[in-house]
Amino acid sequence: MSSIPLKHFKKGSPKPDLPEDGVWRLFTMAFCPFVQRVRLVLDAKQIAYHKIFIDLIEKPEWYKEYSPLGKVPALQLTNLKDQPTLIESLVIAQFLDEQYPEPKLFPTDPLQNAQDKILIERFAPVVSALYPVLTCNPNAPQDALQNFEKALNVFEQELISRGTPYFGGEKIGIVDYMIWPWFERIPSLKYTTEQKYELDAKRFGQLLKWRNLVAQDEAVKQSAQDPQVHAKFQLSKLEGKPNYDIAFNN
């Protein structure tokens, strides 16, 4: 939908001409799970947006104009006065849900809304525990995978206790989208770990059923990348040359 070059802008890259068409701008990195959270919400609500890809290791000098902390995701609301830019995936998600209530993703009940946000916060230990494994860190502790499974177990139990196909209930909701990006990446461990790691079908039975279901969601399909591509990206990072643009060659 745009003429912005399909590459990750880096230090020294001249600033591209960004279309002044009032369409929002999402500053992204093709493999960032936190950006994917925002894409899932934008896509679920069928909101149009331009994507501007940023090399997070060597950031282009002009990126500070858009995101003073240099963070992605950053969503620029080009149709509003002063074209403000929002950061923080969960803050952006909640803003989008208020502005575009169809489909409603956050619970309308304030208690359930608070409990879902707490559950999303409780995913942070899973993210931290998964990180050294996912990034093929050679110094990852021996028990890194066990730590990850222990953290993940909270979500297996929560899904059993909710007794619904999605964390959001009978329909996909905000918890599902906010945790999904990491579940898309877990199958890459089959290609990057010595033991060809996969989630245990017994221990994580509900989560695996949930994963198959969520993978069919239209918004999820729009930003989906193959586990082998995730694996290739992680391996390129390990070699000290993160190949961001590999996202476009598949």
Q: With respect to a copy of itself, which residue has the nearer C-beta, 6 or 114? A: 114
Instruction: Give dist(CA 192, CA 194) in Å, integer.
Output: 7
32 in catalytic set:
yes
Q: What are phi and psi of 113, to 5 degrees?
A: -60, -50
Instruction: Give dist(CA 43, CA 1) in Å, integer.
Output: 14
5 binds a copy of itself (CB under 8 A): no
Among 12, 111, 139, 202, binds a copy of itself (CB under 8 A): 111
Among 117, 162, 190, 211, binds a copy of itself (CB under 8 A): 117
**Using CB under 8 A, which residues numbered 156 to 175 contact a copy of itself?**
none
Q: How many CB atoms lie within 10 A of CB 89?
A: 26
Count of residues binding a copy of itself (CB under 8 A)? Answer: 22
Q: Provide the 3-class DSSP secondary structure of residue 156.
A: helix
121 binds a copy of itself (CB under 8 A): yes
Instruction: Give dist(CA 189, CA 234) in Å, integer.
Output: 10
Q: Contact, 24 vs 56, CB < 8 A?
A: no
Number of H helices, E strands in the chain: 10, 4
Say which of 29, 30, 32, 41 is annotated catalytic.
32
Instruction: Give dist(CA 165, CA 206) in Å, integer.
Output: 9
Instruction: Give dist(CA 161, CA 191) in Å, integer.
Output: 32
Q: With respect to a copy of itself, which residue has the nearer C-beta, 75 or 186? A: 75
CB of 168 to a copy of itself, least distance (A): 17
Among 1, 6, 114, 215, binds a copy of itself (CB under 8 A): 114
CB of 181 to a copy of itself, least distance (A): 19
Q: With respect to a copy of itself, which residue has the nearer C-beta, 111 or 201? A: 111
Burial of 135 (0-12, 13-18, 19+ CB in 10 A): middle
Q: Contact, 74 vs 85, CB < 8 A?
A: yes
Instruction: Give dist(CA 248, CA 97) in Å, integer.
Output: 29
Site string for a copy of itself, 68-107 (x = CB under 8 A): -x-------x--x---x-xxx--xx-xx--xx--------
Q: With respect to a copy of itself, which residue has the nearer C-beta, 23 or 77? A: 77
CB of 97 to a copy of itself, least distance (A): 9
What are the residues binding a copy of itself (CB under 8 A)? 69, 77, 80, 84, 86-88, 91-92, 94-95, 98-99, 110-111, 113-115, 117-118, 121-122
Active site residues: 32
